[in-house]
Amino acid sequence: MKLREDEVSVPAPGGPVRAVVLRPSGDGPLPGVLLYTDIFQLTESTLRTARRLASAGFVVCVPEIYPHGDLAGVALEFDDAGKQAGLAGAAATTTASFDADRVAVLSYLDGRPDTTTLFATGFCIGGHLAFRAAFDPRVAATVCFYPTGLHNGALGADPDAGTLGSLAEIRGRLMLVFGSQDPHVPADARLRIIAALYDAGMHDAELHVYAGGEHAFMRDVGPRHDPVLTDQALTAAISFFTTL
């Protein structure tokens, strides 16, 4: 499977959002996927995952999550300095800014002549952002990989973005993926998320908890990576998106 990979600039209220769009070669229309990165932005690791997803038959758009400040155009290293910079980028970004960029990128994807149904996915903080993308009625299905801050609402500069309080806005299908050994989203946090979903009547939301999986077990750099669980989780996500 050969892919086409392009860098684009998406107009947004706070300024342009740099993004990479990947799709199989050819011109036929395909489902579009908004893929949110973790705090390290557009790393080669995330782009490798995006390529795998695109090869399954999707137009995948991967925007920067910090496109308007000092981290615009920066792919952070997976070290302490990169982690601190990514956390600082999150702390400087409001939920309103994240949401405005999301609307802009979804509108860009929706307006492309080569996209059909819209989906969303993301990792870590990007999992939380993908969950909020599910609020958009254009999004038919969403897969959130180990979303952080979802259980207590913490997102960027806001101690409580009110995400779980807005579940009534979700119209599409929802799937959540966690590792059982994730200290950022431990069992009690996962229970709070599922309880909120069930209280809102979202009994069909899928929950996948992979035994032994650590936080960021799908990032193919560093000791947390679990290739077997990564393959299982990606296969489940692709199946979820293609079974409507």
Q: Which residues contact 200 (CB under 8 A, 6 or more apart)?
A: 167, 168
Q: Would residue 182 show up in a list of annotated catalytic residues for this protein?
A: yes
Active-site residue, from 38, 101, 182, 226: 182
Q: Which of 38, 61, 101, 124 is an active site residue?
A: 124
State yes or no: is 208 an active-site residue: no
Residue ranges covered by each domain of the chain: 3-242
234, 226 Cβ separation under 8 angstroms = no
DSSP 156-200: TTBS----GGGGGG--SEEEEEEETT-SSS-HHHHHHHHHHHHHT
Identify the segments of the chain with pLDDT beneath 50: none
- Residue 105 vs residues 10, 51, 82, 92, 163: alpha-carbon distances, Å: 6, 19, 25, 20, 19
124 is annotated as an active-site residue: yes
Counting Cβ atoms within 10 Å, is residue 14 exposed (0-12), middle (13-18) or buried (19+)?
A: middle
pTM of the model: 0.97
Q: Which of 123, 140, 137, 122 is nearest to 240 (CA)?
A: 140
CATH class of 3-242: alpha beta
Give the pLDDT confidence score for residue 27 in this predicted structure.
Answer: 82
